[in-house]
C-alpha cells in the first residue's frame, strides 16, 4: 500500500469530493507534477482569474456583472421566419430551412441568421419574389339580400363588410361583386394575386346561378339562351342553362364565366322576363354546402389548392 493511502487511514481523495471550503486541504499532485484544484460537482473551481470563492446553490455572484446582448424592443419588428410564414409561402419551421439555405434576402442582402428580425419597411424576397408580411386569408360568405358589395357607402346603406367584420383582423376585400338583391357566394381575401386570377376573363372562372323568374321560361327562349344572345354591349355566350329539376319552369339554372355587370339579369330581361330571385350557388368550384345565409367560413386547405390550380 502506498504512503498516500496509509496516511491516517484516509481514503484517497476523489474528484469532486473534497471538503467544501476547506482552505487547509493540501493539493494532490497531478501526474504531470503540477497541482489540481479542488472541484465541486465535477467542475474545476479555477478560472482565468485563479481560484473563485465557493458559492452556495442559489447564491448570486459577487463579481462584476456581464450584460447580455441587447435586443431591440421595437414592437413593429417581426422574426423573419414568421414574416415568411405570414406571407403564405410555408410554415415557420420550413422558413428556417430556407433562410439557412440562403433563399431569403432582406433589402437585397442574403440573410441566413436564425432569429433575424425585420421592420415593416424592409423589402423581403423569397427566391427573388417580393413577399407581403400579412398572412393570406380566405373567407367565403353566403350573402343575404339588401347588402351592397362595397367597402363603404355614402348613402349609409348596409355593406357586405358588416357581415365579415369578425372573420379576420386583416383587411379583406370582396372578389368581384354581387348586386344588392342578389344572394349567394361571395369570396373575401387579402390575396391580390388570387383576386386578379378569379376576376380576369381569360381564366373563365365558373359561376352557377339559381334564377327565379316572374313567369315560366319557354322552351324557345331556353334554346335562344343556349345558342347565345347579342345584348347592347355585344354577344354573350352561356356555358349551360336548364330548368331546375322538380321545380316550376320559372326556375332556371344557368352557368356562365362572363364577368360583365348584371349579366344574368340582363340575359333574361332581354327576352322579356323579370328576375325575382337570383342566387349564386357555385363560384370557382366553391359551393354553399353547410353555409347558411348570412354566415361565413374559412376556406379549407383543399379548396385553396383548387383555386390556386385554376389555369
Number of other residues whose CB lies within 10 A of the CB of residue 209: 24
pLDDT of 305 over the 50 cut:
yes
206-283 homologous superfamily: Pseudouridine synthase (3.30.2350.10)
CATH number of 78-130: 3.10.290.10
pLDDT given at position 285:
96
Residues whose CB is less than 8 angstroms from the CB of residue 207 and which lie 6 or more positions away in sequence, other chains included:
255, 256, 257, 280, 282, 283, 284
pLDDT of 10 over the 60 cut:
no
Instruction: Tell me the mean pLDDT in the region 115-124.
Output: 90
Q: What is the pLDDT of residues 66-103, one digit of tens each?
A: 433 344 567 778 899 988 887 777 888 899 999 999 99
For the chain, residues classed under CATH 3.30.70.580 are: 138-201+288-308
CA distance 72 to 237: 60
pLDDT tier, 20 (very low <50, low <70, confident <90, very high otherwise): very low
Q: What is the pLDDT of residues 285-298, one digit of tens each?
A: 999 999 999 999 99
CA distance 296 to 304: 16
CA distance 210 to 195: 24
The secondary structure element, H or E, covering residue 263 is helix 263-270
Instruction: Tell me the mean pLDDT in the region 259-270.
Output: 94
Active site (annotated) includes residue 22: no
Percent of the chain with pLDDT over 70: 76
CA atoms within 13 A on the CB side of 139: 24
Q: In what order do the strands lie in the sheet with 129-130?
A: 109-110, 104-106, 124-126, 129-130
Residues whose CB is less than 8 angstroms from the CB of residue 86 and which lie 6 or more positions away in sequence, other chains included:
78, 133, 134, 135
Q: What is the pLDDT of residues 175-222, one digit of tens each?
A: 999 999 999 999 999 988 899 999 998 889 999 999 999 999 999 999
Q: Which one has a higher pLDDT value, 11 or 190? A: 190
Q: What is the pLDDT of residues 34-74, one digit of tens each?
A: 444 444 344 444 444 445 555 555 554 454 444 333 445 67
pLDDT given at position 90:
81
Instruction: Tell me the mean pLDDT in the region 281-309.
Output: 95
For the chain, residues classed under CATH 3.10.290.10 are: 78-130
Q: Which residue in 153, 179, 193, 279 is the catalytic one?
A: 179
Rounded to a whole number, what is the largest CA-CA distance in the chain? 122
Kindly report the average pLDDT of the chain as a whole number: 82
Tell me 294's DSSP state.
T
Q: What is the pLDDT of residues 231-254, one digit of tens each?
A: 999 999 999 999 999 999 999 999
CA distance 304 to 47: 60
pLDDT given at position 306:
93
CA atoms within 13 A on the CB side of 273: 25
CA distance 52 to 45: 6
Instruction: Tell me the mean pLDDT in the region 136-154.
Output: 94
Contact 54, 21 (CB under 8 A): yes
The residue behind cell 484517497 is 12
CATH number of 138-201+288-308: 3.30.70.580
For the chain, residues classed under CATH 3.30.2350.10 are: 206-283
Instruction: Tell me the mean pLDDT in the region 28-32.
Output: 46
Residues whose CB is less than 8 angstroms from the CB of residue 233 and which lie 6 or more positions away in sequence, other chains included:
260
SS3 229: strand
pLDDT of 3 over the 50 cut:
no
The residue behind cell 481514503 is 11
SS3 245: coil
Amino acid at each position: 500500500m502506498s504512503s498516500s493511502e496509509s496516511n491516517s487511514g484516509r481514503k484517497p481523495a476523489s474528484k469532486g469530493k473534497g471538503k467544501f471550503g476547506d482552505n487547509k486541504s493540501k493539493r494532490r499532485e497531478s501526474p504531470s507534477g503540477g497541482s489540481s484544484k479542488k472541484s465541486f460537482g465535477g467542475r474545476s473551481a479555477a478560472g482565468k482569474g485563479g481560484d473563485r470563492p465557493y458559492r452556495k446553490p442559489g447564491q448570486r455572484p459577487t463579481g462584476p456583472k456581464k450584460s447580455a446582448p441587447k435586443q431591440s424592443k421595437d414592437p413593429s419588428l417581426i422574426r423573419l421566419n414568421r414574416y415568411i410564414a405570414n406571407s403564405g409561402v410555408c410554415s415557420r419551421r420550413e422558413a428556417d430551412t430556407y433562410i439557412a439555405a440562403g433563399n431569403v434576402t432582406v433589402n437585397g442582402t442574403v440573410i441566413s441568421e436564425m432569429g433575424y428580425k425585420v421592420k415593416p419597411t424592409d423589402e423581403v424576397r423569397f427566391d427573388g419574389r417580393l413577399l407581403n408580411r400579412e398572412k393570406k386569408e380566405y373567407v367565403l360568405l353566403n350573402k343575404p339580400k339588401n347588402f351592397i358589395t362595397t367597402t363603404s357607402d355614402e348613402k349609409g346603406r348596409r355593406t357586405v363588410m358588416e357581415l365579415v367584420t369578425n372573420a379576420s383582423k386583416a383587411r379583406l376585400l370582396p372578389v368581384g361583386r354581387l348586386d344588392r338583391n342578389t344572394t349567394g357566394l361571395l369570396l373575401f381575401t387579402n390575396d391580390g394575386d388570387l383576386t386578379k386570377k378569379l376576376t380576369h376573363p381569360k381564366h373563365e372562372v365558373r359561376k352557377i346561378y339559381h334564377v327565379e323568374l316572374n313567369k315560366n321560361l319557354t322552351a324557345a327562349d331556353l334554346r335562344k339562351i343556349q345558342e347565345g344572345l347579342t345584348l347592347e354591349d355585344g354577344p354573350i355566350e352561356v356555358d349551360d342553362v336548364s330548368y331546375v329539376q322538380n321545380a316550376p319552369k320559372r326556375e332556371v339554372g344557368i352557368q356562365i364565366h362572363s364577368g360583365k355587370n348584371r349579366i344574368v339579369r340582363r340575359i333574361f330581361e332581354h327576352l322579356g322576363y323579370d328576375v325575382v330571385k337570383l342566387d349564386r350557388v357555385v363560384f370557382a368550384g366553391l359551393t354553399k354546402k353547410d353555409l347558411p345565409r348570412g354566415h361565413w367560413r374559412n376556406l379549407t386547405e383543399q379548396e385553396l389548392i383548387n383555386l390556386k390550380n385554376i389555369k
